[in-house]
Structure 1
Amino acid sequence: MSTIAKALGLLDLFSDAQPALGLTDVQRLSGRDKATVHRHLVALEQAGFLEQDASTRAYRLGPALTRLAGMRVRTVPEVEMLRTVIGNLSREAGELVHVSRLQGFDLVHVHHAEEHEHPVRVSFDAYGLPPLFATASGKAYLAFSPGGVLDLALADPRTRLPGAPAPQRIEIEAELKQIATRGYARNRDGLRLGVSSVAIPVFDAAGRAFATCSIAYPTGRGGKATEAHLARLLMQRGEEISQAMGGSVPQHIVQLWTPAQERAAS
């Protein structure tokens, strides 16, 4: 690994839980010698990637990162950010992968990919997405949002299919709790007979759910084993998807999405 890569790699040590780190902290977390760490921190500070608090001497992320992040948002279309990761996920899953953003309580299409050769495919309308409570995507969003969001969604008739009654609070709360524990939402023949899906939330830079990513597949392709396989692929890509959209996945969600054997080995 080059000297530049090693220095920039120190930026990954900063997080919501650890927004400020001293020299000793960085040395301990990186496992490098003190002189090398100090040299890298000074170089990063001079470049504006870090700044040092004059009173505590601790380092935190610097203004250059804000400028570069803003430039990326302005100059790189969101679809372009997602194209590679969603295309790869679709090829790996062999199914339709779809990213949608929440505007109010409407699911709005952002990008989708269908990179497979199956003759039987899910019919997909990017401009006619169903309402929140009728989809795995909508429930994934609600399960990882603050409780007040559910109150607002239940009060808004646009969040359910036309003519459908409002979900029973006790039932929907129980379902959302299961989703939050499991890490993903699922929908089997719930919206259309013969179509199933799994979905996860996508998080913004503040770690708040603001979009979703789902995999839709013909129910006839398989049962619980297929669902578990596709959900696992989706959760494995969860951090990459949020990062592609400029976001950051909260650490407890990262842990939830990490297989038990990987957590045990870390």
Structure 2
Amino acid sequence: MSKTSMSTVDKALALLRYFSVQHPEIGLSELSRLAGYDKTTILRCMTALERNGFIEQSPETKRYRLGLAPATYARIRERSFPLMAFLQPQMDRLAANTGETAHATVVTGHILMTVQISEPDRATRVYIDPSIPLPVHATASGIVIAAHLPDAQRADLVAHSAFQQFTDSTTVDPQLFNDQLARARAQGFARADRSFENDVMGTAAAFFGPNGVLGGAVAVAAVASRFDARVEARIVQEVRAAAASVTQQLGGTLPTAPAGGN
């Protein structure tokens, strides 16, 4: 495939990221504005996506929405390489045991994608939008995933990260970020102290597949106002136990030494 063709494919697939729970339908002009491409390019990409079932166009509004093809491919993937079946019970148990929102994240390409969420049965809780990619430097999931990636893959992921300042607590200094990675490897979990959202404390641990290959991370996003030493200790214990359980169910092995240099 030529470089030009590959660029067109990248552009088309990247447009799918603009669809979310908050924005289930998007018009041509809005997509053009969001993506920064002219309408002709957007129309060509959307036509190809629609032809392959990734996108549908509303007959009433003419706005675009996600098609059924992604759901079909997701089912094939899960039947062939199960993951969600292992994650959902663990996330439900994690939310119930901590009283906070639990979620699981995997890395695909340069994107940290939330694949499972379980919310506690209480009025005040952290809401996580699964359509929003998690920043690697500002979330516990991102930190612990980056900490356990092989050096080359970690460098590639970090190179594609904007290191945006979300709050006053966000780490944007590369050396401080490296210190966070080393700490996460040493203690077996990562903490994000109001670095993505001002009222959220994140705690995450990595899970692994066969041969110790990183699978992703399980995490708890807790309301900061009720986060104290007792809550912290319980969340760390539960998150690490959930990560170990998912690892075992995947037939994986936990690392016995700091990751890196692979």
2:35 counterpart residue number: none
> Is 1:123 the counterpart of 2:127 in the alignment?
yes
2:109 counterpart residue number: 104
1:196 counterpart residue number: 201
> Is 1:231 the counterpart of 2:236 in the alignment?
yes
2:217 counterpart residue number: 212
| Separation (CA, whole Å) in 1 of partners of 2:142 and 2:182 | 14
> Any residues of structure 2 matched to 1:12-91 within 5 Å, and which?
74=79, 77-91=82-96
> AA paired with 1:117?
D
- How much identity, in percent, do the aligned residues show? 21
Following TM superposition, by how much is the alpha carbon of 1:86 offset from its aligned partner in structure 2, in angstroms? 1.9
Following TM superposition, by how much is the alpha carbon of 1:104 offset from its aligned partner in structure 2, in angstroms? 1.4
| Ranges in structure 2 where 5+ consecutive residues have no aligned partner | 1-76, 258-262
Following TM superposition, by how much is the alpha carbon of 1:132 offset from its aligned partner in structure 2, in angstroms? 1.2
Following TM superposition, by how much is the alpha carbon of 1:212 offset from its aligned partner in structure 2, in angstroms? 1.0
TM-score normalised per structure 1: 0.60
| Separation (CA, whole Å) in 2 of partners of 1:84 and 1:166 | 32
- Aligned residue for 1:109, secondary structure, equals strand
| Separation (CA, whole Å) in 2 of partners of 1:84 and 1:129 | 23
1:250 counterpart residue number: 254
| Separation (CA, whole Å) in 2 of partners of 1:146 and 1:237 | 23
Following TM superposition, by how much is the alpha carbon of 1:225 offset from its aligned partner in structure 2, in angstroms? 3.0
Q: Aligned pair in 2 of structure 1 residues 157, 236: CA closer, same or farther (>3 Å)?
A: closer
2:74 counterpart residue number: none
> AA paired with 2:158?
L
| Ranges in structure 1 where 5+ consecutive residues have no aligned partner | 1-71, 254-266
Choose which of 160, 164, 168 in structure 2 pairs with 1:161: 164
> Deviation per CA, 1:156-193, whole angstroms, max 9, x where unpaired?
245x3389999433222212111111110011111111
Following TM superposition, by how much is the alpha carbon of 1:149 offset from its aligned partner in structure 2, in angstroms? 3.0
Q: Is the 8 A contact 1:187 1:196 kept in 2?
A: yes
> Deviation per CA, 1:180-216, whole angstroms, max 9, x where unpaired?
1111001111111111110011212221213111101
Higher mean C-alpha displacement, 86-95 vs 191-200: 86-95
1:61 counterpart residue number: none
| Separation (CA, whole Å) in 1 of partners of 2:171 and 2:235 | 29
Q: Aligned pair in 2 of structure 1 residues 200, 166: CA closer, same or farther (>3 Å)?
A: closer
Q: Aligned pair in 2 of structure 1 residues 76, 201: CA closer, same or farther (>3 Å)?
A: closer
TM-score normalised per structure 2: 0.61
Q: Aligned pair in 2 of structure 1 residues 163, 198: CA closer, same or farther (>3 Å)?
A: closer
Following TM superposition, by how much is the alpha carbon of 1:247 offset from its aligned partner in structure 2, in angstroms? 4.2
Give RMSD over aligned pairs: 2.8
> Deviation per CA, 1:121-164, whole angstroms, max 9, x where unpaired?
11210111332112110100111222333322332245x33899
Q: Aligned pair in 2 of structure 1 residues 217, 242: CA closer, same or farther (>3 Å)?
A: same
2:15 counterpart residue number: none
How many aligned positions are there? 180
| Separation (CA, whole Å) in 1 of partners of 2:159 and 2:81 | 37
| Separation (CA, whole Å) in 1 of partners of 2:86 and 2:218 | 14
> Deviation per CA, 1:28-64, whole angstroms, max 9, x where unpaired?
xxxxxxxxxxxxxxxxxxxxxxxxxxxxxxxxxxxxx
| Separation (CA, whole Å) in 2 of partners of 1:176 and 1:247 | 25
| Separation (CA, whole Å) in 1 of partners of 2:143 and 2:101 | 19
2:23 counterpart residue number: none
Q: Aligned pair in 2 of structure 1 residues 219, 251: CA closer, same or farther (>3 Å)?
A: same
